[in-house]
Amino acid sequence: MYLTKEEERTLNGEDGETLQKAMEILVALGDIYGADSLIPVKSAQIAGVSYKTIGGAGLEWISDLDGKVKVPSILNPAGMDMQRWRDMGIEPDFAEKQVEVIKAYESLGIRSMCTCTPYYLEGFSATYGDHLAWSESSAVSYANSVIGARTNREGGPSALSAALVGKTANYGYHLDENRVPTVSVTVECELTGSDYGALGYLAGKEVGNRVPIFYMASTPSSDNLKALGAAMAASGAVALYHVEDITPEAQKVGFANPEERIVIERSQIDEVYEEVIGGTDDLECDIAAVGCPHCSADELEDIARLLEGKGIEKELWVCTSREVAEKNAELVKRIEQSGAKVLCDTCMVVSPATEGHNCMMVNSGKALAYVPGMCKVAAKIGSLEECINKVGGDN
């Protein structure tokens, strides 16, 4: 892989040990995947934030780094709401370690906004063709597919390395030839709301890590596309997909219909709603959680409307980024009047608080795929209305 003289100096340790380590990671990835050079990135989104997932070893590794990021950088969700962790039932020892993790990242110049939807943040937007180094699976999918930006599914260390160096290796989804669809998915039935998450849950299992193009009867919104991509990234390893006449590259570039074709029927989607993943079919859900990926302002509006006049009898978590919550304080107030909790900085997948429950109802194919394995809690998918009805009653 070609390196400039400046990059070679960094690799040789002339800019310090931290940057040397970062460059070594980027060069190793470039060599493995056949990159020709490093390319500048516009921003980085870094995974490995929840103390639940990185533990003491991860915290020690981050704390030993010394430097400042060269591009705007934010974090993946943490293991708790950084302000309301007591309301989640988080133990003080865990909270103390989680705060240390965030402070370690802040010392590197990383913005302590913990979210899987960085594209909603002011001053952090990506545009068509931008090269990024994002690591959270649903954020990667949204950036590549809905925005038309370019990022590989970075690991935490490689995204952090790219942030510190300001560059990433030029391979994978940064290259035109790897963004061409290799399998088509036809969905002729009408879809609404959580159907897109259920569809993604199914499609991800069949597509794996390939690039699909969808032919749909319905016209999905950006929130629908977010749910579709997040579920495929979780049940499979899809980092880029296209939707005919909808997503930017499908419109701008135009793709031939691949030879391999998958058809998903309404009956298959309905079957996803009937399953309890990680538990028996008669297991009763004792909590509902929405906002995986983090809720948009439009989704908060829908939740507030559906909760009008209702009181929550079981737990209902609504996860979103702190910035979106603060910009929509009136919606948050309306939601919490019901007894629901609007949680920022975290989500049900990466928080140890989830582990205290038996079965979680979600409206997300991503959460359906992750919660049983990562939290050891059974999960069932339902529509947003079903999630709210499961835990609510009339005031």
C-alpha span between 307 and 173 (Å, rounded): 41
Considering the chain, what percentage of its residues have pLDDT values greater than 90? Answer: 96
CATH number of the 278-391 domain? 3.30.499.10
The dotted CATH code for 5-176 is 3.30.499
* End-to-end CA, the chain: 65
Helix (H, G, I), strand (E, B) or coil at 288: strand
Tell me: the pLDDT tens digits for 30-47? 999 999 999 999 999 999
Same CATH fold, 278-391 and 5-176?
Answer: yes
Mean local confidence (pLDDT), 169-192: 97
Handedness of CA 246, 247, 253, 257 (dihedral sign): negative
Q: Write out pLDDT tens, residues 140-167.
A: 999 999 999 999 999 999 999 999 999 9
pLDDT tens per residue, range 81-106? 999 999 999 999 999 999 999 999 99
The pLDDT score that the predictor gives to residue 394 is 54
Q: List the domain boundaries for the chain.
A: 5-176, 181-273, 278-391
pLDDT value at 134 more than 70 = yes
Asked if residue 109 has pLDDT above 60, the reply is yes
CATH classification for the domain delimited by 181-273, as one of 1.10.3470, 3.40.1060, 3.30.70, 3.30.450: 3.40.1060
On the question of pLDDT at 393 being above 80, the answer is: no
Considering the entire predicted model, what is its pTM?
0.96
For helices 92-106 and 51-63, the axis angle rounded to 10 degrees is 40
The pLDDT assigned to 254 comes to: 85
Q: For residue range 299-335, list pLDDT tens digits in order.
A: 999 999 999 998 999 999 999 999 999 999 999 999 9
pLDDT digits (tens, 9 = 90+) for 361-387: 999 999 999 999 999 999 999 999 999
pLDDT at 392: 77
Say what the pLDDT of residue 395 is: 43
